[in-house]
Amino acid sequence: MGLFDKIRAEFVDIIEWLDDTRHTLVWRFPRYQNEIKNGAKLIVRPGQLAIFVSEGQLADIFQPGTHDLTTANLPILSTLKGWKYGFNSPFKAEVYFVSTRPVTDLKWGTPNPIMLRDPEFGPIRIRAFGTYVLKATDPNALLKEIVGTNASVSTDEVTELVRSIIVEAFTDMLGSSQIAALDLASKYRSLAGELQKVVIERIDDEYGLDIPQLLIVNISLPEEVEKALDTRTKMSVLGDLDRYQQYQMGSAVTMAASNPASGGAADGLGLGLGLAMANRMGGALGGMPGMMPNMMPSAVGMAPPPPPAPLVPSWYVAANGQTLGPFSQEQIATALGSGQLQPTALVWSAGMAQWTSLAQVPQLASLAPPPPPPPAPPTV
């Protein structure tokens, strides 16, 4: 500081804080050698508190407004300094301004997944994140525990501590609540309210801070678990898998009929697929309880029933990138005879290493009709 500034400071003394950041919690007034004149003006704006510190001891606190610094409004400082009959200018003291405005849009989240034992899925990992609002309420505790001798303290220096407390409290609360993972989404509000209370209990008295608002924005499962849940939901919606397979077969018939230019097996699987669907429906009806109860032997001495028919291989056909079937050998023969299935179509059955052209499969090659004769020679 130059000589002119030092002389001017002896005659004019206005102590104030013009905060233009909204992210500063505490700021110390930079007074030359900490000297303050008798009768100096102290301006405390809305959303601020001013606190005097003398030789490391907290003194008087001023609310928003304009104050003339005299022994009348500095009783604690006067006691600390031993001013019985007033004080002469200047006197030394530090002035700290504390912002009491809420700091919004602060975020918290779990840096690593939380391991939980879910009653339905077993051990799972959960992540969570949300937002909160921070506010200073007790300048004495704030100066003692966080500020110390720093010239200023920003929210960034405090939020790391607060986030750690939030995550720790959230982990303890989630582990003891025993809430199923699928029920967490319906309890965001109640969980956030309980979490807010626990966090406030840990920071209000010790650090002089308050959390007016705390929200849980999302609680998520790992990506692979979410995919498994999606698959489980699909299976639940589909219900009867046999009916779903019939639906797929019918859709493939429609696709093949609407794409006549595809050729090969895709040109005419309609008949074969139709027969397969009819065969499946007939088998389902035959297997219904109560359809043929009277055909079972009921009297002693009757001939035993015939042995079951040998297993017939089932065949699958590749068409338009889809696997259609299973089809019986008779259905394949019918489709070949009507021209709806070509010998070049790719087929597969249990025991085959890969998809093979129908004409190269010994069991099916004989079913293909002979090639048509060449055109007759022209008459002379």
CA distances (Å), 39 to each of 71, 90, 243, in order?
A: 9, 10, 92
Pick the residue with more confidence: 233 or 155? 155
Residue 210: pLDDT band by 50, 70, 90 thresholds?
Answer: very high
Q: Which of 314, 369, 360, 302 is nearest to 340 (CA)?
A: 369
Sheet holding 65-68: strands in order across?
14-15, 41-44, 65-68
Torsion of Cα atoms, 264 then 266 then 267 then 271, to 10°: 120
Residue 331: pLDDT band by 50, 70, 90 thresholds?
Answer: confident
Are 126 and 101 in contact, with CB atoms under 8 Å apart? no
pLDDT for 28 beyond 60: yes
pLDDT at 194: 94
pTM score, whole prediction: 0.55
pLDDT for 163 beyond 80: yes
Pick the residue with more confidence: 166 or 336? 166
Provide the CATH topology of domain 240-283+314-367: Dna Ligase; domain 1 (3.30.1490)
Measure the CA–CA gap between 46 and 101, rounded to whole angstroms.
9
Long-range Cβ pairs for the range 144-152 (8 Å, 24+) = 144/58, 145/206, 145/207, 145/208, 146/26, 146/207, 147/26, 147/96, 150/26, 150/28, 151/27, 151/28, 151/30, 152/24, 152/26, 152/27, 152/28
pLDDT at 85: 47
Residues in the chain, total: 380
Residue 46: pLDDT band by 50, 70, 90 thresholds?
Answer: very high
Measure the CA–CA gap between 225 and 109, rounded to whole angstroms.
20
Q: Which CATH architecture has domain 103-226?
A: 2-Layer Sandwich (3.30)
pLDDT for 211 beyond 70: yes
Q: Which residues of 250-285 are buried (b: 16+ CB within 10 A; e: fewer)?
A: eebbeebeeeeeeebbbbbbbbbbbbbbeebeeeee
- Read off the pLDDT of each residue in 256-282 and give the average, rounded to a whole number: 51
Pick the residue with more confidence: 281 or 200? 200
pLDDT for 328 beyond 80: yes
Amino acid letter for position 4: F
Average pLDDT value over all residues in the chain: 76
Measure the CA–CA gap between 61 and 177, rounded to whole angstroms.
43
Residue 267: pLDDT band by 50, 70, 90 thresholds?
Answer: very low
H helix and E strand count, the chain: 10, 18
pLDDT at 245: 62
Are 27 and 97 in contact, with CB atoms under 8 Å apart? yes
Q: What are phi and psi of 149, to 5 degrees?
A: -105, 10
Residue 11: pLDDT band by 50, 70, 90 thresholds?
Answer: very low
- Read off the pLDDT of each residue in 307-316 and give the average, rounded to a whole number: 71
pLDDT for 218 beyond 80: yes
pLDDT at 259: 58
Q: Where are the domains of the chain?
A: 3-99, 103-226, 240-283+314-367
pLDDT at 367: 82
